[in-house]
């Protein structure tokens, strides 16, 4: 079987879980003897050569790059800002025009290649998937890593984005959701019938985290505890709940450092909030980290917190566990469906969050038991399982459309 896949840049050049997921899934599919033609935007400074190196021995994965400044999580405003950096006039005026231009280029690729299934990741590539379907007549599977409702926290949903998501899902032959949580969102907000949606949870491959450097040792020498937030600083990820919980924790224990790894449109607001609460000296904004830098922070932390308002899956808690640190996760997340050995809170329940943070810092046996059990549990949450489910789903879709 051969898959035409519309995906995004791979780690360590990625800017979030979407790239990690595209990489993990593609590698696992190749290991199961599935050929993948991987199409991605050629971003400035980042090309697919790294990925080509990774897959050097895998003749089953072939890359196509399309010149475009599209990147995951981009918003209309970001796009215009990005575009203005370049003098070249090939890019669309607006994000939506650029997505359409990308889709037309995808169409050219689809015309030349042979494949059985089209698989597109997240809304920015959905139109490309649809063009490929039109020109090839092959079935289209859309992979929902997030909906517009997750990204906006349900406030200020962009109508055009919503329309693309909905009409694409209506046109597609099948939909993969990264969790039951996301499946429910798609049914409720987009009116897609339940039977059309298959849940495939993300995973983690522990061999990718084999040697993690030890850093921040100076900080830890003085017995200071570290509580970590890692993710985009956007409304979806709930950074303000993390800051408020920090304030509450610090009222009881001042020897704690709250580490914020990430960037995003709420970064400045969060810094001001920390200052307003008088806890700036206990909150460290480290900016966007990736690769070993991020892994080292995971490892140094005593607890990782995912306070997301709406998290379709959430790979970061799995990365934290594999790096040696237990997790506290929002109940409003897909990862909580597969992870039982985690502390869980409603994202808005700052009191409960602070209570649990304090207890992990106070009771070492809680921290140890939590981590050891979760470390055991995530062995079952891997990309091989996810790829097997995808292949079964491809077969099912092929049968349904009569190929």
Partner 1 sequence: MASLCFYFQVHQPFRVKDYRVFDIGNDSEYFNDDSNRSINNKKILNKVAGKCYLPANAVLLELLNKHPDFKVSFSFSGVFLEQLEEFSPETLESFQKLVATGRVEVLEETYYHSLSFIYSPEEFRRQVELHRKKIKKLFGVTPKVFRNTELIYNNALASEVEKMGYRGIIAEGADHILGWRSPNFLYRPQGTQNIKLLLKNYRLSDDIAFRFSSKDWKDFPLTAPKFASWANQVNGNGNVINLFMDYETFGEHQWEDTGIFNFLRHLPEEIYKHPDNDFVTPSEAIARYEPVSELDVHNFVSWADVERDLSAWLSNAMQHDALQSVYKLEREVIDSGDKKLIDDWRRLQTSDHFYYMCTKWFNDGDVHKYFNPYNTPYEAFIAYMNVLQDLRLRAHKLASSN
Contact set with partner 1 (CB under 8 A): 252, 340-341, 343-344, 351-352, 354-356, 358-359, 362-363, 365-366, 368-370, 373, 377
Q: Exposed, middle or buried by CB within 10 Å (0-12, 13-18, 19+), for 368?
A: exposed
Find the shortest distance in angstroms from Cβ 364 to partner 1: 8
Find the shortest distance in angstroms from Cβ 396 to partner 1: 28
For partner 1, the closer CB: 127 or 370: 370
State how far the Cα of 349 lies from the Cα of 4, in Å rounded to an integer. 43
For partner 1, the closer CB: 315 or 381: 381
For partner 1, the closer CB: 2 or 375: 375
Both tokens assigned to 100: 């359409």
339 φ, ψ (degrees, to nearest 5) = -115, 110
For partner 1, the closer CB: 164 or 343: 343
Find the shortest distance in angstroms from Cβ 307 to partner 1: 17
Nearest to 36 by CA among 20, 46, 23: 23
For partner 1, the closer CB: 79 or 347: 347
Find the shortest distance in angstroms from Cβ 370 to partner 1: 6
Task: Return the CA Rg of the chain.
Answer: 21
CA of 90: how far to CAs of 42, 46, 77, 85, 95, in Å? Answer: 13, 19, 18, 13, 13
* CA-CA-CA-CA torsion sign (351, 353, 359, 362): negative
Kind of pairing between the strands at 61-67 and 140-144:
unpaired
- Cα–Cα–Cα angle for 161, 8, 287, rounded to 5 degrees: 90
Both tokens assigned to 224: 């200071």
Find the shortest distance in angstroms from Cβ 377 to partner 1: 6
Find the shortest distance in angstroms from Cβ 341 to partner 1: 7
């Amino acid at each position: 079987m051969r898959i035409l896949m519309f995906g995004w840049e791979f780690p360590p050049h990625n800017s979030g879980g979407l790239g990690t997921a595209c990489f993990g899934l593609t590698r696992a599919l190749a290991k199961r003897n599935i050929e993948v033609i991987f199409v991605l935007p050629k971003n400035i400074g980042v090309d697919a050569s790294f990925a080509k190196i990774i897959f050097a021995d895998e003749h089953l994965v072939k890359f196509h790059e399309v010149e475009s400044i599209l990147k995951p999580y981009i918003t209309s405003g970001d796009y215009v800002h990005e575009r203005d950096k370049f003098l070249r006039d090939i890019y669309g005026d607006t994000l939506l025009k650029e997505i359409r231009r990308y889709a037309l280029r995808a169409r050219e690729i689809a015309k030349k290649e042979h494949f059985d299934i089209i698989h597109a990741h997240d809304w920015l590539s959905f139109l490309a998937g649809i063009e490929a379907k039109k020109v090839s007549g092959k079935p289209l599977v859309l992979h929902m890593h997030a909906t517009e409702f997750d990204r906006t926290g349900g406030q200020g949903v962009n109508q055009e984005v919503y329309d693309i998501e909905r009409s694409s899902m209506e046109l597609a032959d099948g939909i993969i959701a990264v969790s039951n949580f996301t499946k429910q969102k798609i049914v409720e907000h987009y009116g897609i019938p339940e039977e059309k949606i298959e849940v495939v949870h993300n995973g983690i491959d522990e061999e990718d985290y084999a040697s993690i450097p030890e850093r921040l040792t100076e900080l830890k020498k003085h017995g200071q505890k570290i509580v970590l937030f890692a993710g985009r600083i956007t409304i979806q990820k709930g950074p303000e709940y993390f800051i408020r919980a920090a304030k509450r924790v610090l009222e009881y224990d001042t020897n704690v450092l709250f580490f914020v790894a990430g960037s995003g449109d709420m970064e400045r607001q969060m810094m001001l909030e920390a200052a307003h609460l008088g806890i700036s000296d206990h909150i460290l904004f480290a900016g966007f980290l990736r690769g070993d830098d991020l892994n080292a922070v995971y490892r140094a932390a005593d607890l990782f917190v995912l306070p997301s308002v709406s998290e379709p899956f959430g790979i970061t808690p799995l990365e934290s566990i594999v790096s040696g640190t237990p997790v506290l996760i929002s109940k409003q997340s897909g990862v909580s469906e597969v992870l039982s050995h985690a502390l869980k809170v409603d994202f808005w329940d700052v009191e409960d969050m602070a209570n649990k943070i304090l207890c992990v810092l106070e009771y070492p046996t809680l921290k140890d038991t939590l981590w050891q059990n979760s470390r055991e549990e995530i062995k079952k949450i891997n990309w091989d399982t996810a790829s097997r489910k995808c292949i079964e789903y491809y077969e099912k879709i092929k049968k349904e459309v009569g190929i």
